[in-house]
Structure 1
Amino acid sequence: MSSDQKQDILNSFDEFQNYLSDKINKGEKLGLSENQLAKGAERVAEYLKNHEDPKNTEEKLLQELWKVSDDDEKHHLAHVLVKLARKEG
């Protein structure tokens, strides 16, 4: 993914949700389970926490929640992100 594409996705929480929704839809078409989708969401969240500065208040909230969560809480939060992205898709 180009730097410009990444910035377009991260500049707007709606664009981030749309991106995540698209990836979830593709994963479902490949037959990924709910748990596998959540694991993917965990990897995305961990990457964002370590490599990207939040661009809006929603991303800042998610980053702060991710930072203070233990592994079990992160797993549950990833499932919630999958649900949220499905709702938007």
Structure 2
Amino acid sequence: MSSDKKDEILSSFDEFQNYLNDKISKGEKLGLSEDQLAKGAERVAEYLKNHEAPRNTEEKLLQEMWKVSDDDEKHQMAHVLVKLAKKEGN
């Protein structure tokens, strides 16, 4: 992904949710289960935690929650992020 595209996605929490919704929709069309989608969201969150500085208060809150969560809690948060992104896409 280009740096400009990444900047566009991370410029606001709404853009990030739209990006997730698009990827979730594509995953559902491919037949991915809710659990598989959540695992993908976990990978995105882990990447962001390790490689990107939060650009807004929502991202900062998610990053801090992610840092203090154990694996089970992260998995549950990923499910919630999938639900949130799907809701925002409707």
Please tell me the TM-score bracket, short chain as reference: over 0.9
Matched, 1:55 2:64: no
Q: 1:8-33 CA deviation, whole Å, 9 max, x = no partner?
A: 11010000000000000000000000
Matching of residues 1-89 of structure 1 within 5 Å: 1-89=1-89
Number of matched pairs: 89
Q: In structure 2, what residue type is equivalent to 1:31?
A: G
Over 2 Å off, 4+ runs: none
Is the partner of 1:55 in helix, strand or coil?
Answer: coil
Is the partner of 2:78 in helix, strand or coil?
Answer: helix
For 2:9 and 2:56, locate their aligned partners in 1 and report how far apart those are by CA, in whole Å. Answer: 12
For 1:53 and 1:17, locate their aligned partners in 2 and report how far apart those are by CA, in whole Å. Answer: 17
RMSD: 0.3
Tell me by how many angstroms 1:38 deviates.
Answer: 0.2
- Residue identity over aligned pairs, in percent, reads 85
Q: In structure 1, what residue type is equivalent to 2:81?
A: L
Q: Which 5+ residue runs of structure 2 have no aligned equivalent?
A: none
TM-score by length of 1: 0.99
Q: 1:36-79 CA deviation, whole Å, 9 max, x = no partner?
A: 00000000000000000000000000000000000000000000
Is the partner of 1:31 in helix, strand or coil?
Answer: coil
